[in-house]
């Protein structure tokens, strides 16, 4: 398998699948960093595996399986250490995740939930947009830093702080009910529009 | 999760109207829902005392440690499923209208 074909397949999968898989793993585990790490791991595995064995017929399902299994491994070691009932429950749900189902509308719901969590009013507005671009649109921290005219280190800190607040302040992972508060999520509309706009990711020059 | 609500005064808020104070209903609802842990009013800042220890000496001074126009008039510790529920609970408190409320997640020290 040529390195160019693998690279193209990975770039396509990265643009299309990253947010879906990350969103689903965040929903089930509630752990932002774990979800992102596992998705990163699945791409690293693909990079090593695909040139040898060929590009799988369904790259998205392949990546979902690897990311899910990685999450199961990590949850299992955490659960055996703490014997926490809550973590065992998450483990059961993870094991029940179907790779195909994740491509169904449920995964889109997960992405919608993700946008609403990223755009929660308890987060500063610039962090909302940055986090959505990172997690949902899959832009790199460097790309977002350039768009915000700040250094990559500054943007990286901003993203870390936003993820920490989501975890520590108990910002829920759900689409808020229409009635919950009037001006639901300033930031979520521009983000939704940005995310659905094609070619938001600057394409690498072919040569 | 547990959250602490700091019930604060706000000079920019509309004036207090006793007839619109629904604190009794709020307490009843939050107790019925199992949200309310404990909470109460606090005496005004004139009754505050600030303590510190410097070079082994106990230093006691009158008044609050920070001079601000807004001051903490009360507190509530609540148990909620997430921040959205805490926001909903805080938004129903009368002082959300006559003042403002800061929600802080409790960070258990685990001793």
DSSP A127-147: HHHHHHHHHTS---HHHHHHH
Indicate which of A170, A178, A179, A180 best probes the interface with B, i.e. most B CBs within 10 Å of its own CB: A170
User: Does residue A36 sit in the same domain as residue A125?
Assistant: no
Boundary (domain end) residue, out of A80, A103, A126 = A103
A170 with B82: Cβ contact below 8 A: yes
Number of H helices, E strands in chain A: 9, 0
Once rounded to an integer, what is the mean pLDDT over residues B99-105?
97
- Please give the pLDDT value at position A4: 83
Which segments of B2-67 does DSSP mark as H helices, in order? 23-32
Domain boundary among A56, A82, A103: A103
What would the pLDDT profile of A14-47 be if each residue is shown by its tens digit?
878 888 899 889 888 888 888 989 999 999 999 9
Mean pLDDT of chain B: 92
A-chain CB neighbours of B1 within 8 Å are 170
ipTM over 0.85: no
Give the pLDDT of residue B80: 96
Task: Check if B81 contacts A (Cβ < 8 Å).
Answer: yes
Q: Do A51 and A113 fall within a single domain?
A: no
In this structure, are A92 and A180 located in the same domain?
no
* pLDDT reported for residue A199: 42
Q: Over 90: is that where the pLDDT of B90 sits?
A: yes
Give the lowest-confidence range in A28-42, A76-90, B39-53, B64-78: A76-90
Domains held by chain A: number:
2
Residue A94 is predicted with a pLDDT of: 79
**B95 and A CB contact within 8 Å:** no
- The boundaries of the domain holding residue B42 are 2-105
Note whether A170 and A76 are same-domain residues.
no
Question: Does a structural domain hold residue B110?
Answer: no
% of chain B at pLDDT higher than 90: 80
CB-neighbour burial class of residue A9 (10 A; exposed 0-12, middle 13-18, buried 19+): middle
Same domain for A121 and A143, yes or no, is yes
**Domain of A24, in residue numbers:** 1-103
A192 within 8 A of A115, measured Cβ to Cβ: yes
pLDDT under 50: residue ranges of chain A: 101, 182, 184, 196-207
Q: Helices marked H in A30-84 — which ranges?
A: 32-53, 59-82
Residue A169, SS3?
coil
User: Chain B within 8 Å of A179 (Cβ-Cβ)?
Assistant: no
Residue A34 near residue A25 (C-beta atoms within 8 A): yes
Asked if B57 reaches chain A (Cβ–Cβ under 8 Å), the answer is: no
**Is B106 in CB contact (< 8 Å) with chain A?**
no
Return the pLDDT at A106: 63
Q: What is the CATH number of the domain that holds B40?
A: 3.30.70.1060
Q: Tell me, what's the pLDDT at A203?
A: 43
Tell me the mean pLDDT in the region B69-91. Answer: 94
């Amino acid at each position: 398998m040529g390195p160019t074909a693998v690279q193209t397949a990975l770039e396509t999968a990265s643009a299309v699948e990253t947010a879906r898989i990350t969103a689903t793993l965040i929903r089930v585990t509630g752990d932002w960093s774990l979800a992102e790490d596992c998705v990163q791991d699945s791409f690293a595995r693909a990079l090593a595996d695909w040139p040898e064995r060929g590009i799988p017929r369904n790259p998205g399902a392949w990546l979902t399986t690897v990311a899910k299994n990685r999450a199961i491994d990590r949850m299992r070691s955490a659960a055996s250490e703490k014997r926490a009932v809550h973590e065992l429950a998450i483990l059961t749900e993870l094991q029940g995740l179907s790779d195909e189902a994740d491509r169904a509308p449920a995964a889109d719901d997960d992405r919608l939930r993700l946008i609403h969590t990223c755009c929660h009013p308890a987060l500063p507005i610039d962090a909302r947009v940055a986090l959505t671009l990172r997690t949902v649109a899959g832009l790199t921290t460097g790309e977002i830093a350039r768009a915000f005219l700040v250094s990559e280190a500054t943007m990286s800190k901003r993203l870390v702080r936003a993820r920490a607040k989501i975890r520590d302040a108990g910002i829920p992972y759900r689409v808020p009910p229409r009635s919950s508060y009037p001006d639901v999520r300033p930031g979520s509309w521009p983000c939704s529009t940005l995310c659905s706009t094609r070619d938001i990711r600057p394409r690498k020059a072919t040569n | 999760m547990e959250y602490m609500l700091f019930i604060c005064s706000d000079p920019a808020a509309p004036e207090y109207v006793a007839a619109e104070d629904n604190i009794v209903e709020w307490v009843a609802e939050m107790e019925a829902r199992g949200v309310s842990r404990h909470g109460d009013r606090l005496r005004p800042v004139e009754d505050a005392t600030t303590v510190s220890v410097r070079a082994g000496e106990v230093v006691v001074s009158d008044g609050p440690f920070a001079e601000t126009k807004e001051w903490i008039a009360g507190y509530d510790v609540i148990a909620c499923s997430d921040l959205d529920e805490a926001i909903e609970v805080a938004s129903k408190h009368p002082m959300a209208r006559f003042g403002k409320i800061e929600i802080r997640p409790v960070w258990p020290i685990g001793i």
